[in-house]
Structure 1
């Protein structure tokens, strides 16, 4: 292993020991008590001479960082200090006093280092042409910092995109890990090589269970089918403990003194509920802050913690879950490693060569079945080749002949002597054969109707009836009475195509209908019969006053003078319309609503029934008859019914009876009262 002391970034924290005396000691003891302390630090990966130191300030009353001749920083838990050089060793002394008056002092030797990687073959170099971009590639690591060079996008990933305008060297710093000191960190040997306070079982349904495996959705009820990031998708599957402080995983590792190490592992939630919160311990003391896993299952998180061994020769590392919920609280841990590390500076050179000038020509259109000669142009000395497009007569010629049957893009490549190549594209659009058509293709129309014809597929049109031009647009309207055919000439002038189409026309006769009425209406005669003939189907309007509809004959009872329309349809489907007016005469209003003053229901068919059957039709009709005791002996709302002198099947005695007639008619509201004599 390299004897130099290297930097260690990302997350550094201090490890604090408890004071040597308890809180119950006397004040004299507290004044002389000492405190065990430790601190961590991380270099800035982009500027490795600059370190961020860290100590948990919890119960500390005073903090002093002594950098010797370089200076002192007081009362800062996470100071940043730039040593401004590499290879020199500096003593850093931390002195703290807690609120109980206990003090602690710790000195560590820090040697900022930056290893410049040898790269004689320039394996990360690449070349592009002017105007192009390229994705750089760096060796695998867990963190990167690329130099802030022009035209680089995202400096902190393994493979950033760059598009330099000129040849540029991009420098990058990365971590390089030493040998992994963890035994079975990828769990390929199952549940061996580590210590756990959990039960290592084949099922994970009980809290405090754990096992190495690849199928958490089978191992534990309600867990997702997540996979590990390590070898063969293995992980340590864990169902959280309900007892706090239980070690999920623990291992004791020998270390060298005054060396920087990095502890890394992956962790992911296996259930949505109660995601785990993990804390790493070194020798029983927490290192760094706790790590709260995301509640989204199967979302691995990469965790890196940095530590300096100081004067220790071994360390026990443990992972503890601080969540004790019984619901959910399932997670996976895998790919555990503990190793020394180095910050390495490397570079990638992007050589930018001038791009050759090339033009494939302008886009064009041709007719179906035609040919076209391409015309590419390039700088002298460049090599040309058509690399895409069907039907090329000579792919190496700048002006080959092409005969595409469909629209095609042709791509030409030009390469200059330096090896830089670019492409250009020309599109040859193929106009398909003309699709000349007219709709409708055959016209059948009723006499008197107009028609619309529409042609398509051409760029000019001429319409004719008996050699007489009637239009030059793609659409015409006409009344074809007396016409047997229409013809149109369609021309595609671009591809010189022509077609004449003749559209036959059949004009059907309409039915000859007649209409008549039986009478006009009055207060006495309130209905009229209207008859139609000459058609196979009839439709009458308006509907509101039609009382009977028998197809070709209707009965109407208009409340005002009304015109009735008849639409008749013949057997060929053609229709025609006629009308007739029914007048209303109100001059007989006084005579219209007379009633007999006596009747004799003796069965001689003469004046046997009392009623208004002889009146015209009334709306909302009602006839009521009372005897001399005020009892209703007859009631009807049907105008065709009358009183036969009986009540509940029994003949009523001769005498005088009171009646009332109510209703609405064209002549007004009827409310007539009177008396009638029943004769026996």
Structure 2
């Protein structure tokens, strides 16, 4: 039978993730005891139902009947001590005038009917039937509620639990707290220790002050059994069930339970068949769970109708079984490093710390200069320790003294040197260019820059390498460009020397001209020059003789075929006297590397050409092409008659020369005005026929139209056809 109790509490409601939930902020004394109903979106009508689900799988259904008067409106709660984060949640039912209804609450847990305790708070003139007192709520299945003006009623589900607080892998245990009717005094008939259980939120990580049954856990001696005696409180016969995760696998196994039936004020829990050495397992502390109730509990998780649960997660003192291991002894060459390694523990400490990159890790790097014994002490998660050691025997490494880095020229030889301070064998690399790769002082003749490496090895296998860098400079080529220059009279040439650091130019009779790299000459006859070149790096020097040949300037001419007029849109130029011709770019010329280019300027233009003979000597000629478009269209007269008799003389009628045209029309008319011949070709010539048939002798009319460089031209007149 559900019971409803009235509380004189101040409440503030905020965000609820479920349909009913604990207040998530505030300091009310029953903050973790009551789920508050959320009426958002609900309207009280005859026969209406509203279901609330708690996080403990408790389903509570409210059913309304005898609804009269004003319908109470869901509204947000605002009462000190019980707060939520979302004011949109409607936790109260409000009315501004009289209202009446009956409400019955039923509850199930996992589809099984379950007892439920309901509480109510109200403001204004609200009364209940069956109330414990004037200010308390009702204790019948169906409660009749009468609300006056400006009244509020708030319903809650009293669902307080004492909970375990071990990590999630162990599961969760919950013991429901019970209360006396009307006064809501907590009933504590069964609990562990001296403090009664208190209410906890779901999956609490800290179970609070009521975790007092055990202050000190006795050490495990390794004998296979473990026993704990704890104080309890029980008004009648009760049962204490306890679990000890001695294999540390993160769960409570079936063989890890101990049970005692309580008839006095202490419980004795005993486990057997425990390993002599507790394994490391998945978790390092030891997990314990203790549950008391008037009903025997055989599962470490789940719901209990009364009593208390206490969880402990402690570092239990137990026999140590830490075996720290490390590498065998090591032989090391001075100046080298090796990585050490230890296993079997959680934390490590190496001694001595000298020449270690770190002394508190499992795998430090050691670089000792002398033979050293290292010891590592390891500690596991339970405080057990062990140690191991190894010795690093250090053998001396050779120290090599070598010749210095240097430079050389290709084609030369240099001697290298490398000597160890202790007996050793030698190897040089690369072998290319070396006279011997296993002696201390080979000669080197590399053809490119090379980094030679000498490695000295002792009988202990200790090695040291050192580099000698040989910068190879290509042997310079002493030369003059051009080495046999050809000069034309009136022209000059620059001779340039290269390949050295020092230069001196002389005449053929050894007169010094300049000490620069270049010499500009303009001789009038064949002659000879000398240049002295010296290279400092490769210690080279030579005097080069440079013969110079002098040629005469070529004899050249330039001519034109005419000038530009209406009948001559293009003319040709002609240059002579050479074998290579280069015309300066100018309007109207398209081919600039021929002796006779065609030109078609639009205005009077001067053309210039450079003429070169077979010796490379040049001369420049120029000519001006005049442009006059004011001349008449053609200088050739049109005949007045023709005789198409096949004698090869005056057999057709046409204009002999037109020049360039972009459009042309040639028409012949008879005296009646009918066209008897037409053509669009400037080369057309009428043979006195029409459509292949000879026309009769007589006078005919011609009209010629053309578009030329001088513009549009029209010629017309008569022509006499004679047969």
What is the TM-score when the length of structure 2 is the normalising length?
0.45
Bigger CA radius of gyration: 2
